[in-house]
Amino acid sequence: MRRYELLVLLLELAKQGCARTPVSIDKMVLASNLELSAWTLNRWLRDAVKAGYVEVVSKGRNRGYFLTEKSLSDLSALLTELEHSIRGVSRLTLTGKIFRGLGEGGFYVSLNEYKEWFKTFLGFEPYPGTLNVRLNPESTVKRKMLDCYDGFRIPSMERGDDRYCSARLFKAVINDTVEGGIVIPEKTVYGPDVLEVVAKTCLRETLGLKDGDEVKIEILLNL
């Protein structure tokens, strides 16, 4: 089990109350919150129990999950580090490798209503497509800092029977050269290790990128 997977699981279990007392968790809800399949969630839980981060306690016919002192110590250290990092921080630098997505980001970016919001905040009409970046483990954990910032909020909208979700938008600089933005949709098919990046031009062409290339994304937080 990778460390960022462990930390993400422990954080969600703590939010479910498992840091205070054994809790009979709803695995369907937990899997949905973590954007995991039931199989992957069960594997993560087994690995966390085996590594001594989670204890399982029988509660009648149910099983309660409880975070051990080892978990609480690791989470406390992470939160302290994040708190120290957030104070006075105006930029967050993340790195990852690009991959070819499903094309959904390009569809949403091309909607006229969304394009107007992008122009309002970013100052340009985005290229009709997103650059999908799978973050490395360290950057995946650091990405949690974005939860502390509102960014620029794009409201949800409806077109006939279709409803399109809201999103948060942050200004960013890609590879120290190209100004762009980070889109965090309210609902997405991707997990917490993926960022969707927009820019005025096609980033693959502008920066000469191909699948598997590493990129650096500097997110501007206090704008």
In this prediction the pTM is 0.60
Say which residues have a Cβ less than 8 Å from residue 76's Cβ, sequence separation at least 6.
Answer: none
Asked if residues 196 and 186 have their Cβ atoms less than 8 Å apart, the reply is: no
Token representation of residue 141: 């954990």
Q: Based on the number of CB atoms within 10 Å of its own CB, is 54 exposed (0-12), middle (13-18) or buried (19 or more)? A: buried
Domain count for the chain:
2
Residues 64 and 137 in one domain: no
Residue that is last in its domain, among 42, 64, 84: 84
Reported as a pLDDT band with limits 50, 70 and 90, residue 49 is very high
Residue 216 belongs to domain with CATH number: 2.40.30.30
**Residues in CB range of 196: below 8 A, 6 or more apart:** 101, 105, 130, 131, 132, 133, 182, 183, 184, 185, 188, 190
At 88 the pLDDT is 57
3-class secondary structure, 3: helix
Number of H helices, E strands in the chain: 8, 11
**Residue 195 binned pLDDT confidence (cut-offs 50, 70, 90):** very high
The string of pLDDT tens digits covering residues 52-108 is 999 998 867 788 899 998 888 888 777 766 665 665 557 889 999 999 877 666 677
Q: Are residues 136 and 102 in the same domain?
A: yes
1 vs 130, more confident:
130
Task: Kindly state whether residues 98 and 174 are assigned to the same domain.
Answer: yes
- What the block records as the tokens of 220 is 């501007």
Residue 144 confidence (pLDDT) above 90? no
Same domain, 107 and 195: yes
> Are residue 22 and residue 74 in the same domain, yes or no?
yes
User: Residue 99's pLDDT is what?
Assistant: 93
Assess whether 28 and 59 both reside in one domain: yes
Q: Which two tokens stand for residue 118?
A: 């992008």
Give me the domain span that covers residue 206: 91-220
Judgement on whether residues 199 and 115 belong to the same structural domain of the protein: yes
Contact 143, 94 (CB under 8 A): yes
Choosing from 84, 114, 132, the residue where a domain stops is 84
Radius of gyration of the chain, Cα coordinates, nearest whole angstrom: 19
Paired tokens of 188 = 């997405």
Among 32, 65, 84, where does a domain finish?
84
pLDDT digits (tens, 9 = 90+) for 207-216: 999 999 999 9
Do residues 96 and 65 both lie within one domain? no
